[in-house]
Amino acid sequence: MGLGEVRNRIHYLADYPTPPPFSHGCGIFGPWLCDPGQCEIKLISDLDFGRCTISDHFSGEHQKNGANIEKTLSTVKAKLDSTSVNEVLHKCAHDQPLLGLRFFVWAGLQPNYRHSSQMYSKACQLFDVSRKPQIVTDVVEAYRAEGCLVSVKTFKVVLNLCRKANLANEGLWVLRKMKEFNCRPDIPAYNAVIGLFCGNGNMDVAAELMREMCSVDMYPDMITYVAMIKGFCDAGRLEDACALFKVMRGHGCLPNAVTYSALLDGVCKFGTMERALELLQEMEKEGGDCSPNIVTYTNVIQGFCEKGLTMEALRILDRMMLNGCFPNRVTISTLIKGLCTEGHLEEAYKLIDRLVAGGSVSYGECYSSLVVFLVRSGNFEEAEKLFRRMIASAVKPDGLASSTMIRRFCVNGQVLDGFRLYSEIAKAGCLSSIDTDIYSILLAGLCKEGFSVEAAQLARLMVEKRIQLKAPLMDDIVEHLKNSDEKELEHHRRY
């Protein structure tokens, strides 16, 4: 079929009250999509697959009785890419989700194309896979009904959909169905399902699947062990995690930093910090791939802080830096939070001076974190004093610290002080990082307290910056603007 004839049929279909009777069969992707059950014809017009359109490749005549979508699609010689796949998915999402998902699986099997993680997410979103998991089983059952040739790779695409949609039970069902199609599940297939049950906290099923792997001479790999150990730790089954950690060496899987870190997280949450230190020391002694990194040390520090042992956590910081790992923003924030919570404010200032002297962080980063945690711990007076000292010393606060301070002023009923602080931040050149909702909070407070001049100034700035009012404060602000004589306020109301 030429492109001209396709276009003629498109125009014909636009005026035709019911589907035209020039195609039959089931499930074609071409200029038309047929519903396998009712053989109703749908139109997909000019979807671009590279330089050619899918309309150039398909017609109703291509679809024969008993054939399947995949057989028709195999005749397409055009190039697949994420854009063309995305177009087909959008076309099918509303009326033909089953055919759209079958197309998605087929596309994932092509040699010169591979679905990205984002594309799996898009497919799950468009076909609402999480809330309508039946579509996954429908796809597999359609393969059986039509006698489609499927491979292990086909099932892996389906399992990846299950994993992205967090469908553990459906994933297990797909795994069991593989044998009925003479497809032997491999280690990645088992890992996908085991990972789903570990993520859902159903460790009994995950452990049974792991034993099943061993019974058919398919030994777990590092991915399996990490998922299982993390799953046991998250479920609070620390002894099971430790036992599995010991077993993995016998199966030829030597622990690395990822495995150690997974176990260490569990020990910090559900074990003793003495055991955590022993495990950390073991990692340092092993060295190589087992050497603790910045994430490992930070997690141990966090474990100490969460147990109210922040002063002891400072020793882990010393140990960390001695081994060549320098703290990042997360490490510092964790320590500052712990020190503020436990009332060790002087130690927090000493820590900041020491870290800044080391060159790994700045005063702006550290003081901003300290301001935030001082406010959250209820020491607003100290937070305000530090914040104003930062501005006076040309130490720029970050957006979170600035927004936190202004918001707290407004909550405390000091909206005018909040506006004045906003003005000081503006002079310091730090406005760009402030949360946009702060403007609405300030404006609402100024309007409510009757500070019309300041409200007009802020409204004018919001207009210039094209910052819109945020609900649910909008109604209160608009009501005030209606009753105001200020031109700038009226301008903002119209905007």
More confidently predicted of 218 and 473: 218
| Tens digit of each residue's pLDDT (9 = 90 or more) over 7-24 | 333 233 233 343 333 333
| Contact predicate 191/213, CB 8 Å | no
Give the pLDDT of residue 437.
87
Residue 325 is given by DSSP the state P
Phi, psi of 32 (to 5 degrees): -130, 155
pLDDT digits (tens, 9 = 90+) for 449-477: 888 888 888 888 888 888 877 766 666 66
| Cβ-contact 290, 256 below 8 angstroms | yes
Using CA atoms, how far apart are residues 175 and 104, in angstroms rounded to an integer?
A: 19
Residue 432 burial by CB count (10 A; 0-12/13-18/19+): exposed, middle or buried?
Answer: exposed
Please list, in sequence order, all residues whose beta carbon lies within 8 angstroms of the beta carbon of residue 78, skipping any fewer than 6 positions away. Answer: 49, 50, 51, 52, 53, 54, 56, 57, 84
Given a cut of 80, is residue 485 above it in pLDDT? no
CA 162 to CA 172: how far, in whole Å? 9
CA 77 to chain centre: 35
pLDDT at position 64 over 70: no
pLDDT at residue 482 tops 80: no
User: In the structure, what pLDDT confidence band is assigned to residue 265 with cuts at 50, 70 and 90?
Assistant: very high
Q: How many residues does the structure list for the chain?
A: 495
Asked if residue 384 lies in contact with residue 405, where contact means CB atoms within 8 angstroms, the answer is: yes
The residue to which tokens 């209820």 are assigned: 378
Closest listed residue to residue 209, CA positions, set 182, 176, 237: 176
Neighbours of 418 (CB within 10 A): 22
Looking at residue 54, what is its pLDDT?
A: 43
CA distance 114 to 324: 39
Which of 54, 48, 43 shows the shortest CA–CA distance to 1?
Answer: 54
**CB contact set of 192 (below 8 Å; sequence gap of 6+):** 156, 159, 160, 162, 163, 171
pLDDT class for 159, splitting at 50, 70, 90?
very high
- For the stretch 113-126, pLDDT in tens is 999 999 999 999 99
- Which residue carries 């092509």 as its tokens? 110
Give the max Cα distance, the chain.
83
Residue 109 Cα to chain centre, angstroms: 25
Residue closest to 7 by CA, chosen among 42, 45, 33, 41: 45
Average pLDDT over residues 113-142: 95
Phi-psi region at 413: left, alpha or beta (left = phi > 0; alpha = psi -120 to 50): left
Q: Provide the residue type at 436 as one letter.
A: T
For a pLDDT cut of 90, what percent of the chain falls above it?
56
Least confident residue range of 135-139, 146-150, 241-245: 146-150
Beta strand pairing status for 32-34 and 48-49?
Answer: unpaired
Residues forming beta bridges with residue 53, ordered by sequence position: 48
Mean pLDDT over all residues of the chain?
82
Give the residue with greater pLDDT, 255 vs 46: 255
What is the pTM assigned to this prediction?
0.73
Per-residue pLDDT tens for 438-448?
888 998 889 88
**């959909």: which residue's tokens?**
161
